[in-house]
Structure 1
């Protein structure tokens, strides 16, 4: 009974970190919860007499559970791919966490490159993903990582290095794309605010669609002179525009951009959906999170 109480206390103490590890490994909050629960089942049946570092021991168990889940996921994808006719591979969509994120999750999300990171992690082998996430995100040593993936510390280091190169390349491409999109959205808002019809036409694709309107001239006419209350923002980390009333976001404008032109503008004014977004209002020299 005393040992079980000690286990419960140690597990509760490290649970936020364990969920953060599982989320970064699996890319899904639901699967992360499943992994943590499976880890607890293993922990509750384990012999703890030799455990000197509870945090490291628990992290190792969660990592092994996640590794098994990633291996199973990869096998399922290979089965599905084998049943499909030959053709170009379809990229797997990234999965966003649902519900309230813990403090470690929020910090990790802020430090990551968002969707791009999750997509590129999904292309790594399970061993590469584990080595990179545990070492680069959670500062676990390669001496500890090696046994989890049945590799030497040197081999684990090589796996993490290979994964890091791919992640860094994706991050650089993502940053460039996000910067370009921000410039286009900002220019669109300025032209709309100033009623500059010709500037709007320059930014819009000839076949742009927005608010049940189709075509650059129709969309430019609709938005010309109408963006006084709209502000440049990051919505879930992506450049967008937000209409706010008394400082509270009321509508989100999402832009689809192709070849430097706006091809679609989606407007969402549903209060519940707007409230669920992570919105950072951007200004000249300052930002506000809503």
Structure 2
């Protein structure tokens, strides 16, 4: 196989490989590094001996992501404040795939939500790999076993543990995009207008706000809990926004989100966890290291 053909094959699979790596790592930059490393492995491999390029590429990408995850997990233990995933633009969930129907889109998007990715942080690297390949991409246990060089029985055990952990801790948020957009618009209008009563009407009583700054921007270092405290915090910070602030509705991590830009540069992402028409969680990402990909 020539290098041109190898490049064509790899590019055809890049969206899949990036999807695996992002779900494993929760960082766009880390996922891109893993995919680049996978390309280097592919470019120097004996490609004529590779019978199934897709399986080969998923295998090396997953193994590289497992290794990278083991490295970054230790760094996250010293992270300043709460850790949230890096926002991922998902208006095109999987370039090159047929347009998904509603059920497939929901299932595909659910595995990249902030809520699920945060829960997956507690999984071991192998559990996370099994969960991603099985739940997000529907890989059979036998294929996952080959990827991870484990027995099929061991993979089934890992899958069971990972699924139980995620199901027990995953918040049950609405995923209907039209409903998300409607509630997000009302939420923005109330917060920007200083309408405390309007915000309280939208927030669940036990609502919470999770802010991620990594110590590099202003954001709460602890989770804010209760509707009243969340509402007052939001109104307080929106009173001090710069005149050059621009807000855009975007699709991030499978749902409606607000992107705040200052002088055209991404400054803050707001995404809401919504259930039964009420906001249960407000995710706020302000770490500039996690907003760079949105500038592109």
TM-score relative to the length of structure 1: 0.59
Aligned-pair distance for 1:77? 5.2
Whether 2:8 is the aligned partner of 1:36: answer no
Which runs of 5 or more structure 2 residues have no equivalent in the other structure?
Answer: 175-179, 210-222, 259-273, 278-296
- Distance between the aligned counterparts of 1:280 and 1:93, measured in 2? 18
SS of match in other structure, 2:233: strand
SS of match in other structure, 1:275: strand
Whether 2:9 is the aligned partner of 1:19: answer no
1:274 pairs with one of 241, 247, 251: 247
Contact 2:76 2:83 in 1 (8 A): no
Aligned-pair distance for 1:143? 1.4
Counterpart of 2:84 in structure 1 is 94
SS of match in other structure, 2:50: coil
Residues 126 and 69 from structure 1, CA distance in 2 versus in 1: closer, same or farther, beyond 3 angstroms? same
Contact 1:16 1:102 in 2 (8 A): no
Counterpart of 1:264 in structure 2 is 233
Residues 30 and 101 from structure 1, CA distance in 2 versus in 1: closer, same or farther, beyond 3 angstroms? farther
Q: How does 1:69-218 map to 2 (within 5 A)?
A: 69-76=68-75, 93-97=83-87, 102-104=92-94, 107=105, 110-112=109-111, 114-171=113-170, 173-175=171-173
SS of match in other structure, 1:175: coil
Contact 2:26 2:117 in 1 (8 A): yes
- Distance between the aligned counterparts of 1:101 and 1:157, measured in 2? 33
| More moved, 123-132 vs 153-162 | 153-162
| More moved, 45-54 vs 273-282 | 273-282
- Distance between the aligned counterparts of 1:67 and 1:157, measured in 2? 18
Q: How does 1:43-62 map to 2 (within 5 A)?
A: 43-62=42-61
Aligned-pair distance for 1:37? 0.3
Which runs of 5 or more structure 1 residues have no equivalent in the other structure?
Answer: 82-89, 177-181, 194-209, 212-218, 240-255, 286-290
Contact 1:30 1:97 in 2 (8 A): no
Larger Rg: 1 or 2? 1
Aligned-pair distance for 1:162? 0.7
Residues 168 and 72 from structure 1, CA distance in 2 versus in 1: closer, same or farther, beyond 3 angstroms? same
- Distance between the aligned counterparts of 2:243 and 2:122, measured in 1? 35
Aligned-pair distance for 1:271? 7.0
Map Cα deviations across residues 118-147 of structure 1 (whole Å, 9 max, x no partner).
Answer: 111111000000011011111122212223
Aligned residues: 213
Contact 1:257 1:263 in 2 (8 A): no
Map Cα deviations across residues 86-131 of structure 1 (whole Å, 9 max, x no partner).
Answer: xxxx885022235676432895773347222111111100000001
SS of match in other structure, 1:95: coil
Counterpart of 1:201 in structure 2 is none
TM-score relative to the length of structure 2: 0.58
Map Cα deviations across residues 20-63 of structure 1 (whole Å, 9 max, x no partner).
Answer: 11111111111111010000000111112232221111111111
- Distance between the aligned counterparts of 1:15 and 1:142, measured in 2? 23
RMSD (Å), alpha carbons: 4.3
| Higher RCO, Cα 8 Å, sep 6+ | 2
Residues 275 and 149 from structure 1, CA distance in 2 versus in 1: closer, same or farther, beyond 3 angstroms? same
